[in-house]
Structure 1
Amino acid sequence: MAATDRVGMAIKDRPEFKSKPKPLTMNAGDSVLDAVKAMSEKNYGSVIICDEAGKVTGVVTERDVMRKVVGAEKDAATLKLGDIMTADPRVAREDDDLADWLRIMSNERFRRLPVVDADGRIKVVFTQGDFVSYTWPDLLHQAKVLAQASVGRNYPIWMIGGGIMLYSLLMVIVVSSLS
């Protein structure tokens, strides 16, 4: 869907896009221990693994460290990020529709979404929490626009359905008044 045809909002148009701090990025060859120290220092829940060109190749989260390092009793000082990262993660473009990614993240059950520019370089990381701030008024407005478009196209169906409902309601009233 072209950006001009979109009913929703581009990721880059959300206030969070401009206000988010720069993501923590490292190389696949860096140690898990160095990543954990940097994540702790910045209070980040993940590190984005990038190649030399700045393109996303993987993601390592706190959960990965717990499961693949601590739980497996491995040495974080010698283990490399490339050994535990989720390789080739889903990556959004900054012009992508926000609501589309909200649905994808929910359906595929992942919490962090690297967002890249047109050249594929990391810009920000959106979390599910950022998407929760896609407020009810935004969602209700989008639902209203979609409903108006749908009703307009299906006017005869709405008339038939409405007529049947009105007839049924009148029959219930008439029958209950006779009792």
Structure 2
Amino acid sequence: MKIKDRPEFRSKAAVLTFGPDVPVAEAVAVMSERNYGAAVIVGPDRKPLGIVTERDFMRRLLNKRMNPDETTLSQIMTTDLKMARADDDLLDWLRIMSNERFRHLPVVDDQGVIISMMSQGDFVSYTWPELMGRLKEQARATFNVSPSLVMIIACVAIFAAWSVTIFAQLR
């Protein structure tokens, strides 16, 4: 399945973006008000320069005791961006995000302009039904045993129960 085929891709709110010179305090206020965990830092051409997440605030700002009023987003943003295209395979990206431990994936058009941002949560809603289907198949395969094996197990269980009863009476 392609990223663009997900209902979440079509129904997502606009990507929250900031310029690189925006003070961290300002970005945090907007992100908190709108309940966003990440924002994309873009240049004037709306091409991503970086991303800032709650983790960046913790590790690169708070941990270093930097002043959020004096620190700009460009000073703490993650610049090693992984970016997808709408036609990319969803499961490929979910695997990459899981293996490389990042949760937000900017989606860009053919010119590299930000058009959306997907999160691992957006992808989980796709994989959960698939996972349940695989578990059902595995359970069927595991418990699909021949009738003769079931009879043998039942006989052993009955014999064991009978033996315990007899042993208890002999004591």
TM-score by length of 2: 0.74
Is 1:89 aligned with 2:81? Answer: yes
Distance 1:23 1:79 in 2: 22
1:135 offset after TM fit, Å? Answer: 3.5
Q: Which residue of 1 aligns with 2:27?
A: 35
1:37 offset after TM fit, Å? Answer: 0.7
Distance 1:64 1:126 in 2: 18
**Of 62, 66, 82, which residue of structure 2 is paired with 1:70?**
62
Q: What per-residue deviation string (whole Å, max 9, x for no partner) do you get for residues 3-26 of structure 1?
A: xxxxxx110110000111111100
**Of 82, 95, 100, which residue of structure 2 is paired with 1:108?**
100
Query: Which amino acid in the other structure matches residue 19 of structure 1?
Result: S
Q: Which residue of 2 aligns with 1:131?
A: 123
1:71 offset after TM fit, Å? Answer: 2.0
Is 1:122 aligned with 2:102? Answer: no
Q: What per-residue deviation string (whole Å, max 9, x for no partner) do you get for residues 34-81 of structure 1?
A: 110110111100110011111111000011111211222111011010
TM-score by length of 1: 0.71
**Of 41, 61, 79, which residue of structure 1 is paired with 2:53?**
61
Would the aligned equivalents of 1:115 and 1:122 in 2 still touch at CA under 8 Å?
yes
Would the aligned equivalents of 1:56 and 1:88 in 2 still touch at CA under 8 Å?
no
| Identity across the alignment (%) | 54
1:121 offset after TM fit, Å? Answer: 1.1
Distance 1:39 1:51 in 2: 19
Q: What per-residue deviation string (whole Å, max 9, x for no partner) do you get for residues 95-154 of structure 1?
A: 100011011101111111011112211111111111111134446889xxxxxxxxxxxx
Query: Which amino acid in the other structure matches residue 60 of structure 1?
Result: V
Tell me the secondary structure at the aligned position of residue 54 of structure 1.
coil
User: Paired residues, what number?
Assistant: 139
The structure-2 alpha-carbon separation of the partners of 1:75 and 1:136, relative to structure 1 and needing over 3 Å to count, comes to closer
Query: Which amino acid in the other structure matches residue 91 of structure 1?
Result: M
Distance 1:141 1:98 in 2: 18
**Structure 1 consecutive aligned stretches of length 4 or more whose deviation exceeds 2 Å:** 135-142
Q: Which residue of 2 aligns with 1:45?
A: 37
The structure-2 alpha-carbon separation of the partners of 1:63 and 1:137, relative to structure 1 and needing over 3 Å to count, comes to closer
Q: Which residue of 2 aligns with 1:148?
A: none
